[in-house]
Amino acid sequence: MRRHLQKRLYAQLGVPSSTFRMSGEQLNGNVSELVVVRHGQTDWNAQGVLQGQAESSLDDVGKEQALAVADYIARKIPDIAATYSSDLRRAADTANIIARRCCIPQVHLMEGLRERHLGKLQGLPRKDAQRLEPEAYKIFVAHLGDKPIPGGGESINDLSSRAKLCLEEIAHNHLGERVLVITHGGVVRALHRHATGMSPTGRILNTSINIFRITNENVWALQCWGDTSHLSPSIRAAPMSDQDSA
pLDDT in tens, 87-113: 999 999 999 999 999 999 999 999 999
Q: Is 197 annotated as a binding residue?
A: no
Asked whether residue 138 is domain-assigned, the answer is no
Comparing C-alpha atoms, which of 89, 87, 84 is closest to residue 42?
A: 89
* CATH number, domain containing residue 209: 3.40.50.1240
Q: pLDDT-derived band of residue 209, with 50, 70 and 90 as boundaries?
A: very high
Which uninterrupted H or E stretch holds 108?
strand 107-110
Give the 3-state secondary structure percentages of the chain, helix then strand then coil, rounded to 5: 40, 20, 40
Average pLDDT for the chain: 90
In a domain, 132, yes or no: no
44 is in an annotated binding site: yes
Q: Is residue 186 part of a domain?
A: yes
Read out DSSP for 114-147? Answer: PPPP-GGGTT-BHHHHHHH-HHHHHHHHHT-TT-
Domain that holds residue 44: 2-7+27-118+154-235
Decide: 20 and 212 in contact? Cβ < 8 Å. no
- Please write the tens of the pLDDT for every residue from 149-166: 999 999 999 999 999 999
Instruction: Tell whether residue 45 is among the known ligand binding residues.
Output: yes
Question: How far is residue 157's CA from residue 51's CA, in Å, rounded to a whole number?
Answer: 19
Radius of gyration of the chain (CA): 17
99 inside domain: yes
Domains identified in the chain, total number: 1
Has residue 43 been placed in a domain? Answer: yes
Is residue 115 annotated as a catalytic residue, yes or no?
A: yes
220 marked ligand binding residue: no
Q: Are 13 and 24 in contact (CB under 8 A)?
A: no
Query: Does residue 240 fall inside a structural domain?
Result: no
**In this structure, is residue 242 part of a structural domain?**
no
Q: 193 among the known binding-site residues?
A: no
Which candidate in 115, 133, 154, 230 is catalytic? 115
Residue 135 annotated in active site: no
Q: 4, 25, 33, 39: which one is catalytic?
A: 39
**Does residue 125 belong to any structural domain of this protein?**
no
